[in-house]
Chain A
């Protein structure tokens, strides 16, 4: 039997020597230009990092190409960031520009640093998951194509984190990102009662529903859904394969704004609903791309320096956010779940739009 429970390899065996030597002894860093960082250690040694975009879903051929580049410029060392960017780690400043030149010739975008829009954290979509309401790789590519300029420059008030999840399981970061793209359903699951008894645990299926819309009948070994109570979360399908919910005509995308995870200036925030529904329109998702671009542009022209999207909105007020972006405010925006009252306005303070 193969050896088990050996854990991941020790990361210290894979550090570039300049990092090993100065581990825990860094003094300061600078962003030399978009995509290029310089860290200076107490010893005076410098580490240069060149950050390049990646589509996250990559072939082994592509990984080998990245390895070849690392071999040529960084003695074989590289890392991936928590937003799936590639970082080439160099100790020789003279190699930075030749590396960038070669990356550019191979169509790697160099950037994602500082007040930029870095990579989009995203999920499996139609490539691999069985519960998505939209695709991941497709919309991400369509959007990054249109906002490419924000990846390779640093001209926003602060960085804007964009994330995508293809269903409201929210694998990843949509609930805490400046702008979030989230796949949603709009139809009730279709229960196949002939399959339920063999492939589903009825009590688990009943318990999976956040609104209590599902009733179980242990004797008849079936479940019934109260359509009026269902808000199409799809959780019952995750638990019970005999309740498919995907619907090509009514599935689509919602857009959320104003989340953040850092504690800089303000506490971390959840993202909130901005646009309840946009259609799935593969392969380029033009409605989604346009909506996200609009939010970025309005934010870029109105926010103060260092203000994150959520901080800007909270300063000007949500009614101003909707007026400035031209996004219609609808009944769908009004929370009606457990803690809804906390989200209502209990004050006379508001602006006339």
Chain B
């Protein structure tokens, strides 16, 4: 399995860079990973709001929220989500939040 070094720590990831040991997630991981998902500079409050929301939802329900749910619960629209996570809420948002990789016919 591939490994990636971020902020001095080694993480097991899959070929798409999704974390393979979800309990290893931490804030430095998300920050250090941001630039590979086209996010420049430090993560903003708006980024953290979505990342924390995704993590809480996953913890509570065992699944990533549907994108409509993300928008509704956070008062953002799709356009805003893509501004925050240019590679998209699934590939970008879920990856930084340390959720399992989206599956199905993606």
Q: Enumerate A230-280 residues with CB–CB distance to B below 8 Å.
A: 238-241
A199 contact set on B, CB distance < 8 A: 14, 20, 100-101
Which bucket holds chain A's interface residue count? 10 to 19
Q: In the complex, A200→B104 CA distance in Å?
A: 11
- Number of B residues contacting the other chain (C-beta, 8 Å)? 14
In the bound complex, do residue A201 and residue B105 qualify as a contact, i.e. CB atoms below 8 Å apart?
no
Count of chain A to chain B residue pairs whose CB atoms are closer than 8 Å in the complex: 35
Q: Enumerate B1-34 residues with CB–CB distance to A below 8 Å.
A: 14, 19-22
In the bound complex, do residue B103 and residue A203 qualify as a contact, i.e. CB atoms below 8 Å apart?
no
Q: In the complex, A204→B21 CA distance in Å?
A: 19
A76 contacts B by Cβ under 8 Å: no
In the bound complex, do residue B61 and residue A198 qualify as a contact, i.e. CB atoms below 8 Å apart?
no
B105 contact set on A, CB distance < 8 A: 169, 238
Instruction: Give which listed residue, B64, B100, B103, B104, contacts A198 with CB less than 8 A.
Output: B100
A239 contact set on B, CB distance < 8 A: 103-104
B78 contacts A by Cβ under 8 Å: no
B63 contact set on A, CB distance < 8 A: 201-204
In the bound complex, do residue B104 and residue A201 qualify as a contact, i.e. CB atoms below 8 Å apart?
no
A240 contact set on B, CB distance < 8 A: 103
Q: In the complex, A238→B22 CA distance in Å?
A: 20
Q: In the complex, A347→B30 CA distance in Å?
A: 66
Name which residue of chain B comes closest to A208, CB basis.
B104
Most central of B14, B20, B62 by chain A CB within 10 Å: B62
Name which residue of chain A comes closest to B58, CB basis.
A201
In the bound complex, do residue B100 and residue A200 qualify as a contact, i.e. CB atoms below 8 Å apart?
yes
A216-227 to B contact mask, C-beta < 8 Å, 1/0: 101000000000
Name the distance in Å between B24's Cβ and chain A's nearest Cβ. Answer: 10
Q: In the complex, A239→B14 CA distance in Å?
A: 16
Cβ-closest 4 pairs across A and B: A201-B63, A202-B62, A203-B62, A203-B63
A and B contact pairs by CB, cutoff 8 A, 16 listed:
A198-B20, A199-B14, A199-B100, A199-B101, A201-B62, A201-B100, A201-B103, A202-B63, A203-B61, A204-B103, A216-B62, A238-B104, A238-B105, A239-B103, A240-B103, A241-B101
